[in-house]
């Protein structure tokens, strides 16, 4: 079950009045949210709408082929995942929570030489599978890592390198697809109508996660629950509701959106969310071409750790944030705090469990923020397992799509990212980018 508690969103009120404003706003916005829901579902069939991610949880044929592939590669001890942005962050976050039963995943999503070299030093090419993931098949960071990985494999394995590579890319575009075909490499497809940051439930996320021993089927089952919720009436439609909460915050000037799971295991979830919201909603123009400069700034945090860091700012700093907690109701394992003679001052802890303490910390922080009129709400899941995380991630993708509708921005393009990529190509002398190279030279930009 995934539930949302909006009690503290109406943080200006305390006591029995709390929640009144939320109920009123939800009623007032229902027609707009219904229109957004209908528009999204109507467009979900059109390839150019880039809503293919909506259908990924139903793609059981893809799931089966991923599972078969993972089963056929039980010899693999380590997977070198070469990808960046949407081609890495989802699997990275989920592996941190759910991995451990299968191969170890190592993500190369930067081009700093030392960590990359250290991986090549440490890993055994005979038991390492290189999963290169790039929708465009051209991203410089990923392609650079792939060139190095190919060389590393070839030097140790000769022709045997081919068995140690699996490619995940567009069915047609880019350099990777023909390369995979030419060498007969194992490969998977990213559907053309699924953008990078919405691709975690395509082979982009499923292949490495299945190799890591994650229950990928449960991820998709959970994601289908989010789809069902996103179809429902507004009163039951949690993505529409959390989108509204974000919209109300934006309207009141709370333009920083903090995501704060109370779980170390979920510590990388905010990084995935940051990309999802930042790239989807940070836009200069709306869909009619008017200049809008929209987009809340997503900010990662983790509880209870950040109680001793950012929470001071959240509670007493500018009134510019909405804080979203992610909490789980059940611990898979718990530890009881033993009594200790000489430490009687800690008696309030004796006999309590660590999870009890975590829960108290989260509840206390949410209240401390509300009492200081800092809006916050809590997304509850039972436990951070594959089913609930599938639900949560798909929920957040839907929330993003709803916000795109409410703000009339295209949540599925990323012109700012593309421009950065083109400038990089120009700086490195890639043919076809001469004009940009001249612009950079005029501006005195050097690598």
Structure tokens at 72: 């056929």
**Looking at 17-25, 190-198, 211-219, 343-351, which segment touches ligand PA5 (CB under 6 A)?**
190-198
Which of 48, 308, 316, 344 is labelled catalytic?
308
Between 311 and 411, name the residue whose CB sits nearer to ligand PA5.
411
Query: Phi-psi category of 184—alpha, beta or left, where left has phi over 0 and alpha has psi -120 to 50?
Result: left
Question: What span, in angstroms and rounded, lies between the C-alpha atoms of 295 and 170?
Answer: 28
**Looking at 10-18, 84-92, 176-184, 253-261, which segment touches ligand PA5 (CB under 6 A)?**
84-92
Does 395 participate in catalysis according to the annotation? no
**Looking at 155-163, 195-203, 260-268, 363-371, which segment touches ligand PA5 (CB under 6 A)?**
195-203
Give the bridge partners for 97, in sequence order. none
Of all residues in this chain, which one has the CB nearest to ligand PA5 in the complex? 196
Give the x-and-dash track for 57-76 against ligand PA5 (CB under 6 A).
--------------------
Which of 25, 217, 279, 405 is labelled catalytic?
279
User: Should residue 196 be labelled a site residue for ligand PA5 when binding is judged by CB under 6 A?
Assistant: yes
**Looking at 54-62, 106-114, 133-141, 253-261, which segment touches ligand PA5 (CB under 6 A)?**
133-141
Structure tokens at 4: 């949302």
User: Should residue 277 be labelled a site residue for ligand PA5 when binding is judged by CB under 6 A?
Assistant: no
Measured CA angle at 62 (ends 189, 142), to 5 deg: 30
One of 8, 97, 128, 139 touching ligand PA5 (CB under 6 A): 139
Does 283 participate in catalysis according to the annotation? no
Between 362 and 397, name the residue whose CB sits nearer to ligand PA5.
397
CA 51 to chain centre: 16
User: Should residue 259 be labelled a site residue for ligand PA5 when binding is judged by CB under 6 A?
Assistant: no
One of 134, 241, 254, 400 touching ligand PA5 (CB under 6 A): 134
| CB of 342 vs ligand PA5, minimal distance in Å | 54
Q: Read off φ and ψ for residue 123, nearest 5 degrees.
A: -85, 155
Question: What span, in angstroms and rounded, lies between the C-alpha atoms of 24 and 6?
Answer: 13
User: Should residue 417 be labelled a site residue for ligand PA5 when binding is judged by CB under 6 A?
Assistant: yes
User: Should residue 136 be labelled a site residue for ligand PA5 when binding is judged by CB under 6 A?
Assistant: yes
Which of 162, 183, 367, 421 is labelled catalytic?
421
Listed residue (84, 62, 208, 74) closest to 140, CA to CA: 84
Between 19 and 174, name the residue whose CB sits nearer to ligand PA5.
174
> Are 21 and 370 a contacting pair, CB within 8 Å?
no
Q: How many residues bind ligand PA5 (CB under 6 A)?
A: 15
**Looking at 85-93, 123-131, 311-319, 425-433, which segment touches ligand PA5 (CB under 6 A)?**
85-93
| CB of 313 vs ligand PA5, minimal distance in Å | 28
User: Should residue 414 be labelled a site residue for ligand PA5 when binding is judged by CB under 6 A?
Assistant: yes
Does 308 participate in catalysis according to the annotation? yes
One of 73, 197, 277, 374 touching ligand PA5 (CB under 6 A): 197
User: Should residue 37 be labelled a site residue for ligand PA5 when binding is judged by CB under 6 A?
Assistant: no
Listed residue (276, 294, 258) closest to 399, CA to CA: 276
Between 134 and 164, name the residue whose CB sits nearer to ligand PA5.
134
Residues with a known catalytic role: 279, 308, 421
Given the rule CB under 6 A, which residues bind ligand PA5? Answer: 84-87, 134-136, 139, 142, 195-197, 279, 414, 417
């Amino acid at each position: 079950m995934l539930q949302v508690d909006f009690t503290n969103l109406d943080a200006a009120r305390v006591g029995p009045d709390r929640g009144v404003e939320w109920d009123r706003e939800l009623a007032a916005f229902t027609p707009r949210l219904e229109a957004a829901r209908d528009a999204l579902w109507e467009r979900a069939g059109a390839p150019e709408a880039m809503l293919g991610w909506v259908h990924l949880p139903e793609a059981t044929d893809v799931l089966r082929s991923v599972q078969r592939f993972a089963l056929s590669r039980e010899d693999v001890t380590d997977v070198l995942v070469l990808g960046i942005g949407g081609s890495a962050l989802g699997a990275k976050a989920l592996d941190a929570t759910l991995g451990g039963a299968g191969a170890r995943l190592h993500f190369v999503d930067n081009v700093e030489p030392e960590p990359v070299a250290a991986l090549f030093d440490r890993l055994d090419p005979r038991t390492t599978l290189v999963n290169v993931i790039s929708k465009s098949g051209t991203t410089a960071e990923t392609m650079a890592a792939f060139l190095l990985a190919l060389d590393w494999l070839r030097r140790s394995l000769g022709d045997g390198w081919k068995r140690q590579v699996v490619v995940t890319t567009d069915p047609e575009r880019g350099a990777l697809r023909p390369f995979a075909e030419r060498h007969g490499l194992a490969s998977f497809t990213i559907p053309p109508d699924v953008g990078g940051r919405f691709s975690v439930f395509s082979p982009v996320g499923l292949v490495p996660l299945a190799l890591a021993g994650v229950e990928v089927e449960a991820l998709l089952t959970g994601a289908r629950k989010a789809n069902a919720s996103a179809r429902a009436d507004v009163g039951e439609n949690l993505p529409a509701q959390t989108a509204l909460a974000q919209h109300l915050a934006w309207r009141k000037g709370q333009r920083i959106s903090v995501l704060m799971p109370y779980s170390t295991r979920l510590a990388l979830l905010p990084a995935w969310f940051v990309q999802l919201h930042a790239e989807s909603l940070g836009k200069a123009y709306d869909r009619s071409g008017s200049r809008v400069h929209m987009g809340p700034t997503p900010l990662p945090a983790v509880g209870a750790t950040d109680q001793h860091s950012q929470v001071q700012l959240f509670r007493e700093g500018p009134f510019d944030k909405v804080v979203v907690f992610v909490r789980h109701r059940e611990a898979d394992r718990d530890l009881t705090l033993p009594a200790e003679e000489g430490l009687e001052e800690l008696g309030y802890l004796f006999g309590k469990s660590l999870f009890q303490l975590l829960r108290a910390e989260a509840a206390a922080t949410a209240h401390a923020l509300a009492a200081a009129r800092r809006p916050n709400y809590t997304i509850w899941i039972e436990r951070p397992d594959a089913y609930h995380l599938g639900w949560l991630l798909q929920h957040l993708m839907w929330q993003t799509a709803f916000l795109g509708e409410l703000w009339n921005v295209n949540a599925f393009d990323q012109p700012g990212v593309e421009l950065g990529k083109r400038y990089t190509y120009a700086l490195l002398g890639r043919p076809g980018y001469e004009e940009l190279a001249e612009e950079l030279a005029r501006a005195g930009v050097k690598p």
